[in-house]
Every structure is written in C-alpha cells, then in structure tokens.
Chain A
Amino acid sequence: MTTPLNSDRTAVNSIPNTSRITPELVAEHGLKPEEYEHFVKLIGREPSITELGIVSAMWNEHCSYKSSKVWLRTLPTKSPRVIQGPGENAGVVDIGNGLAVVFKMESHNHPSFIEPYQGAGTGVGGILRDVFTMGARPIAALNFLRFGDCHNVKTRRLLAGVVAGIGGYGNSFGVPTVGGSVGFHKRYNGNILVNAMAVGLARADEIFYAAATGVGRAIVYLGSKTGRDGIHGATMASAEFGADAEEKRPTVQVGDPFAEKLLLEACLEIMKAGCVVAIQDMGAAGLTSSAVEMGAKGGLGVELNLDAVPCRETGMTAYEMMLSESQERMLMVIADGKEDEAEAIFRKWGLDFAIVGRTTDTLRFVVKHNGVVEADLPIKELGDQAPEYRRPYEEPLPRPVVAPEDVRTNASVADALERLIASPDLCSKRWVWEQYDHLIGGNTVQRPGGDAAVVRIEDGPKALALTTDVTPRYCEADPFEGGKQAVAEAWRNLTAVGATPIAVTDNLNFGNPEKPEIMGQFVACVKGIGAACEALDFPVVSGNVSLYNETNGKGILPTPAIGGVGLIEDLHKSMTLAFKAAGEPVLLVGK
C-alpha cells in the first residue's frame, strides 16, 4: 500500500453522515451532553458517526479512567527498580542480571458473567498480550475471583465456567497459572469478579513501548482477522444496521488461545529481528485505542486505510472496524526497510499481516475507507484530553470496631474450627487450581496452596514470588484500613516465602462512581493503598480500574485486588508453610 502522507494540515470541514447525530445517539454511546459539547468544540464541527464511535471508545471509563485518574495519580509509582510505571501496557521492574519482570492485572468481570468460559478465557488472553507486547515472555499467570452466594445454582455454573475458561486459555497458551484467590459473597450475585494477572520476563534493555517514532513508517496489523465482536452502541447499531444486528453483534468474544500462542512466538521473533519500533495490543476498543495511543504517545499523526484490514466478515463498515474487539490482534510500527522480514516471520506462523497505515507529522488521526475519509480528528486531544472528573464523594464512616467479648457464641473451639475449614472462603481451593496447568515451564518452585507462588527465573537461583490479595469485607467496614490491609497482606505473603517485595499491580473493582458513597469507598481505598505502598516502599507499577459493578442497583463489596511481586535472590533459601518436623517450637510473630 502506498498511502501518501497526509500533507495538508487542516482538518476536513465535515464528513457527511447518513443519519443525524441526535442527542439519543450520543447518549447511547455513553457520552454525557457536556462531554459531547466538549468534543464538538475540540473538532469545530459535527462529528461523523465513525468519529462518534471513536470518541466514545476513547472517552469511556474503561479507556480514559475519567473518574479515577485524579486519585490514581496519588499512588507511589517509583523506586530505583522501576523501569516503567503505570501508563504502558504493563509495569516493568528491574530484577538484576540485565532482566526485568513485566506484569499487570486486568478485569473481565462483565463478559465472564454473560459467558463464563469465553469471558474468563479472553480476560486471560488480554492480559497475556499486555505482557508480551512489551517484549516479555509470560512465565506465570494468576487470577483473582469473586462469586455470589455459593449455594446458588447460578454461582456454581459461573464458577465452573470461569475456572474452565481460565484453564482452557492459559493451559493451551502454555503459561503456568500459579496462584490467585477465590471468594464468595452475595453482593457479587449479579456481578462476579474475574481479574487476571500475567507476569513476564524480558531483558531490561529490550523493552518495547507503545509510542510511535518516525514519520512515514508503516503501521502493521498483526494476528487474527477482524469481526463484529463486542461492538458497543448496540441500540444505535440496530437502528443503523438493520434488524439482524443482534445476530451480527455478539457482545462476547470467543478466545483463540492457539492463535495467541502463535502471536506470542511471532511477536518475540519479530522483536528479536529488530523489526519493531512501537507496538500496542488491540484490547478494548481495538484498532481505535491502539492507533490513537501509538500516535498520541509518540507525538505523531496516524493515517489508517481500512481497506487493508483483514476482515473475517464481509461488508464491515468503518465504524465497525474501528470499534471491533476481536481478540488476538496487535498493531505495530515497523522499522524502515524491515517490512518484508517482518511479514515473512508472521506468514511462517500462519498469521495475518497487513500494512494498514502510516505515521504522519500532522498530529491528526485520519481513517479512510473505500477512498472516503471517515474520521479526521486531533490525535493528542483524543488520547490525552479525555474528560477528567473529580466526582463528589462522601467520606465513608468506618463501622464500629467489634470487641471480641461482644460476640456471643456457644460453639466449641473444635466446632468453630470445623466451620471455618468448611467455609467456602477458607476451604482448600484445590478443585480450582488443579484445573490449571501450574507446572508447565518446569520452574514452579512453590505451587498453589501456599502463601505466595514461587517461580524460578531462567536457570535460577533467583526466583519471583507472586500473590493476589484483598479482603473485601474489611474494605466495606473501613475502606482506608481495608486498602492498607490488602497491601500489607500481599507484602506478608511475599515475605513469608522469603521474598523481598518489589512492586504491585492492582485491580480496583467498585460500584457506580457517580454515587458519592461508592466514590467515597474508592477514594478511601486508594488512599489506604497509597499510604501502605508508601510506607513499605512498594510502588504500584500497573493496574486496572473496573467501575459500575452492581447487583440489582447495589454495589459489590469494594474490592481493590492487589497483585504483589517479590524477588528471591536464592530460591534455596525460600520457605514453604508446611511444618517440617515434629517437636519443633511454633513462634507467633506480631501482636
């Protein structure tokens, strides 16, 4: 393809729309009237339908963090080890010997509720891609799960489906799933939590980033073909695209771990060959957010030619292609003159490879389809000037502390112990982790079942300790203390296996932030997490926020999951929790 550079720097005056951009259409795209006005002012005219789709994807909560950003900025994110903090596909931390650990956690709550197997599987797929886009080979996966009342038939189906889905994806992809957490509470009845964490290993000086550099370079589409998966704006869409829209627009994607495994190998090979200038995975809001982020971060314009996008279905519109959430896809900027070499590697792995655009010096995001300009937007504003809210919040009132002597029970210690062991939250989770291949790679020193998993780094003696923690009912009782406690628990689980805690990722799962009491929980939890991370010199290097988690109009328990990573210098000195011999003293540390 030889798309000429977009040399004229002025935006087009208008792009004709077949249907009018009504307030209803705007609302169906999840934009508030004032957000839409802000956008119209930015571009100086009425947007095209494709442009409306693009901005709705960029400015939604999930992509823009508009409700949470101000608070996330308060978290400590630096330490001498941190190579890359929040803002990229994943966090990067130096672990010595020229190596870095790359990790992040992400939620897939809603899709997993609708289609547990595929929803959970594609959640794992997404987070693995975040890690290997940065040049890291995934070496471990974890997951943090919360379900409703375990006596519900629905809960059992969801649990079985989610666990099978996580295993189905991770096992096939070939990453050991070494840890996680499973819990139950009726407040998750209508809104389960499925948070997946991935951890990868890379050379510290060979990390790949999303920011594009260099004008006129090829932007390449890699991986699986694009279909009409997960396109938003459903109601609008049915009006615009005919009555079979429902059939056309599955809201849940089907994962293809096999394609992902090939994508991993092809990406790492192409990176090693020096072909890659910038790379971004196509996650939520696929082509839109990946292309805009590459341009906005790199201070460059991007021009896409959608005619070149490999499609799985016929007759896809620009709108659909820009918003498709098809899985197992990547966008890359290729080094000058390396296009053929890169293509050969991808073809060998049986994957699609197409030059779909160029970087430009115009700072505009231009999308062409069938020779027509479908979108022409200022890229920086789209990427960086999303609305940001300081939402009103209520300072949460911590629940009164319960004194032990106020708790009346006639249960004997033995009965109480039995009940504790039998409770779904505390019982053995073997049924879960036996469905995950936790041994592949031959580096799993400590398997699920302990305080933290331990995974050897290359041939040792170094190892990583990994854990996910939070106790939601603490966060409900006192969000600030609960946030602190989650960090402290992760820290303790890491130190208990002999690791030095080095950094965390988080997944902040809350209800509707437009409710001041929920926003209050969020703010206090973040403050608690920040305070604990500060005190422990335990920086947050990546994370994810999942809001609007509600069951029948009531928020889930506030659930800021913490994923902790620790470093063990010599795995021979790491510890397990099993008692080693009879007759040895048992010590209690702390008060």
Chain B
Amino acid sequence: MKPAVILFPGSNREQDAVRALRLVAGAKPQVVWHAEHELPPGTDLVVLPGGFSYGDYLRCGAIAARANIMEAVRAHAARGGLVLGICNGFQILCEAGLLPGVLVRNARLRFVCREVLLRVERADTAFTKAYRKSDLIRIPVAHGEGNYTADETTIARLEHDGRIAFRYARRDGQIDQTDGPNGAINGIAGIYSEKFNVLGMMPHPENYIEPEIGPTDGRGLFESLAGALKAA
C-alpha cells in the first residue's frame, strides 16, 4: 500500500490521517505538498485530509480544489485509483468536481464537534469491506460546513446508484432527520463516485482508531483500504 496524503496550506489533520494509515494499515504514507504536479510513483491511495485549506475563505475547499496537485489527483481517480477525502478533503472533492454536490453551512450555523452514529450503507467497496452493511459505527464530526446538498436529480441518482457511503443515524438505525449534526439531505455523511473509487465523508474515522483515546470504529475504514490494496 502506497498512500499519499496531500498537504494544502491550512490543512491540519494530515498527521491524524498519517497516524491512522501507519497504525491501522501498516503503511508509510508520503506527505505531498499541494504545489507539486505529480504524485509519488506507485501511489495507490490519495488522501485529502481535514483542515481549513486556505482558511476555508471564499467557500470551504474552493481554493484548494484549484491547486496544482489536483490535476494529478484527477488523473489518478480517472485511472480508477482510490481517493479518500475526509471533511475538508470531501469539500475539496466536491469543489473539484470529483464528487457531485456541495457542502454548505451547518443548518444550525455553528461549528459542531461531537461523536455521531453512522450507518454503513454498503460493505462491498474498497473503503468498507471490513464493516457489515447497516453496521452502526461511532465516529466524531468536527466541521462548520458539512451540510451536504445537491439538486434533486443528483440526489436521486446517488440514491438510485447506491452511492451513499454513510448516513447519520439514530440508535435504532433509522436516518437521523431531525437531530443530525448538520442538516445534510437524507442524512448523507459520505458519498462515492460513480466507480466507487472516490469516497468523500465529513466524519473523522482517523480520530477513532486507538482504544487509549476512545472508540475504535474508525479502524474498519483503514483496514478495508489495506485489504483492498493488498489484494490488488
């Protein structure tokens, strides 16, 4: 497994991502500066980490989406390479057009940092094989703009194609319509690209991997990636 973690000015969870890839997937991630034009040779997973790239000024992720390295990320995705965008990374993927829709301000207009329950919508992708379908996992969110929205046709297509990766759920497994952290449409917490090789998600699995710190439900995502890339 050869992951590359992209560092934009203002990224701030890149070390959290590196630690998760190291501890859970046994990888030695390379940190790649946004101004580069190429990914390190052999890169098989690109991670866009959390943070406030360019201060999230203008719109979250908007300026980072136009960075040099994004051309290489686009090409990598087009070849079927795996891309994981977490939080700001998800916002960047949407702004770059690698995923549809957009993340706008939380419905309550406040930043929110708390643990949420996520329902795993499918367990047959490179990102989720270590989970079971409909598993409820505990993962924290930490964002001010995680309210996923898109036009009706886009949402309908995402739903129809099974491209919702995770939804904010209640304890009984139902979608959290009222009390979700951010008001996202249909409780959407993460989505896949058409070929299921690009995943964008608001919650932070990389912060829930060590028993010393808290729950470890985030490990499954990195274990899945390790498995998928070993098999490949």
**Is there a direct interface between A and B, measured as CB atoms under 8 Å apart in the complex?**
yes
Known: A164-B111, A257-B52, A445-B213. A349 touches B9 (CB 8 A): yes
- CB contacts (< 8 Å) of B20 on chain A: these are 442
Contact A437 B113, beta carbon cutoff 8 Å: yes
Contact B55 A257, beta carbon cutoff 8 Å: yes
* CB of B193 closer than 8 Å to a CB of A: no
The residue that A174 contacts in the complex, of B12, B54, B144, B207, with Cβ under 8 A, is B12
CB nearest neighbor in B for A430: B114
Q: How far is the CA of A168 from the CA of B57 in the complex (A)?
A: 12
Contact B112 A442, beta carbon cutoff 8 Å: no
In angstroms, how far is the closest chain A Cβ from the Cβ of B202? Answer: 13
The interface bits of chain B over 190-225 (1 if a CB of A lies within 8 angstroms of the residue's CB, else 0) are 000000000000001011011011000000000000
Contact A174 B13, beta carbon cutoff 8 Å: yes
* CB of B56 closer than 8 Å to a CB of A: yes
Interface centre among B57, B113, B114, B209 (most CB of A within 10 A): B113
- CB contacts (< 8 Å) of B54 on chain A: these are 258
Known: A171-B144, A257-B52, A456-B212. A434 touches B10 (CB 8 A): no
A:257-285 near B, CB below 8 Å: 257-259, 261-262
Contact A171 B111, beta carbon cutoff 8 Å: yes
* CB of A571 closer than 8 Å to a CB of B: yes
The residue that B142 contacts in the complex, of A256, A349, A437, A445, with Cβ under 8 A, is A437
Contact B57 A258, beta carbon cutoff 8 Å: yes
The residue that B52 contacts in the complex, of A172, A434, A460, with Cβ under 8 A, is A172
- CB contacts (< 8 Å) of A440 on chain B: these are 12-13, 16, 50, 142, 207
Q: How far is the CA of A174 from the CA of B52 in the complex (A)?
A: 8
Contact B212 A572, beta carbon cutoff 8 Å: yes
* CB of B140 closer than 8 Å to a CB of A: yes
Q: How far is the CA of A256 from the CA of B9 in the complex (A)?
A: 13
CB nearest neighbor in A for B54: A258
CB nearest neighbor in A for B10: A258
- CB contacts (< 8 Å) of A438 on chain B: these are 113
- CB contacts (< 8 Å) of B110 on chain A: these are 164, 434-435
In angstroms, how far is the closest chain A Cβ from the Cβ of B86? Answer: 12
A:153-195 near B, CB below 8 Å: 164, 167-168, 171-174
- CB contacts (< 8 Å) of A445 on chain B: these are 212-213
CB nearest neighbor in B for A262: B9
Known: A167-B111, A171-B144. A258 touches B52 (CB 8 A): yes
Q: How far is the CA of A281 from the CA of B41 in the complex (A)?
A: 41
Contact B16 A172, beta carbon cutoff 8 Å: no
The interface bits of chain A over 414-451 (1 if a CB of B lies within 8 angstroms of the residue's CB, else 0) are 00000000000000000001111111111111000000
- CB contacts (< 8 Å) of B51 on chain A: these are 174
Contact B113 A258, beta carbon cutoff 8 Å: no
Contact A173 B204, beta carbon cutoff 8 Å: no
* CB of B19 closer than 8 Å to a CB of A: yes
Q: How far is the CA of A172 from the CA of B13 in the complex (A)?
A: 10
* CB of A350 closer than 8 Å to a CB of B: yes
B:97-149 near A, CB below 8 Å: 110-114, 140, 142, 144
Contact B213 A444, beta carbon cutoff 8 Å: yes
The residue that A439 contacts in the complex, of B10, B57, B140, with Cβ under 8 A, is B140
In angstroms, how far is the closest chain A Cβ from the Cβ of B88? Answer: 10
- CB contacts (< 8 Å) of B207 on chain A: these are 439-440, 442
Contact A261 B113, beta carbon cutoff 8 Å: no
CB nearest neighbor in B for A163: B110
Q: How far is the CA of A174 from the CA of B213 in the complex (A)?
A: 18
Contact A460 B13, beta carbon cutoff 8 Å: no
- CB contacts (< 8 Å) of A572 on chain B: these are 212
Contact B9 A442, beta carbon cutoff 8 Å: no
> Which 9 pairs across A and B sit closest by C-beta, in order of nearness?
A174-B12, A258-B55, A172-B52, A437-B142, A442-B16, A437-B113, A435-B111, A167-B111, A439-B207
CB pairs A–B below 8 angstroms (20 shown): A168-B111, A171-B111, A172-B10, A174-B51, A258-B10, A259-B55, A261-B9, A261-B10, A261-B12, A261-B52, A262-B10, A437-B113, A440-B12, A440-B16, A441-B16, A442-B15, A442-B207, A443-B213, A445-B212, A572-B212
Q: A171-B142, A440-B16, A442-B213 are in contact. List 4 more A-B contacts (CB 8 A).
A: A258-B54, A350-B9, A442-B20, A460-B212
